[in-house]
């Protein structure tokens, strides 16, 4: 069964983000304003947020992912992410394969 987390986004409310087949989660060190979730299928979810120099978004995402995946397969209610910074947008895209 698919698992999700809710991420609160300014002016959009809670948005669903999948936690299935996550390959890597990391925060852009150059700006500290975006956190990226890479999936096994080559897609990426970019979470844009206020400055986060202490990596609290990254840690919250990792903890929410673990909490979501530890739930029974029959319990599909999303885990809600609690953050100390505002998320301004969430975008999804696919990384083009290298030639």
What total number of domains does the chain contain? 1
Is 16 inside any structural domain?
yes
Give the pLDDT confidence of 36-68 residue by residue, as tens digits. Answer: 999 999 999 999 999 998 899 999 999 999 999
Residues spanned by the domain of 15 = 4-94
Is 77 inside any structural domain?
yes
User: Could you tell me where the DSSP H helices lie in the chain?
Assistant: 56-70
82 confidence band (pLDDT: 50, 70, 90): confident
Model's pTM, two decimal places? 0.89
Is 99 inside any structural domain?
no
Q: With CA atoms as reference, report the closest residue to 50 among 95, 8, 5, 94.
A: 8
Is 21 inside any structural domain?
yes
Distinct helix (H) and strand (E) counts, the chain: 1, 7
pLDDT at res. 99: 63
Is 82 inside any structural domain?
yes
pLDDT at res. 48: 95
- Burial tier of 64 (Cβ tally within 10 Å: 0-12, 13-18, 19+): buried
Q: Which tokens is 13 given?
A: 């409310």
Give the pLDDT confidence of 24-38 residue by residue, as tens digits. Answer: 999 987 778 999 999
């Amino acid at each position: 069964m698919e698992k999700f987390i809710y991420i609160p986004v300014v002016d959009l409310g809670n948005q669903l983000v999948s936690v299935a087949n996550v390959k890597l989660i990391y925060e852009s060190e150059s700006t500290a304003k975006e956190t990226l979730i890479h999936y096994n299928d080559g897609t990426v979810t970019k979470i844009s947020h206020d400055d986060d120099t202490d990596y609290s978004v990254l840690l919250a995402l990792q903890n929410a992912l673990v909490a979501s995946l530890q739930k029974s397969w029959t319990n599909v209610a999303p885990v809600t992410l609690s953050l100390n910074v505002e998320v301004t947008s969430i975008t999804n895209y696919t990384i083009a394969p290298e030639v």
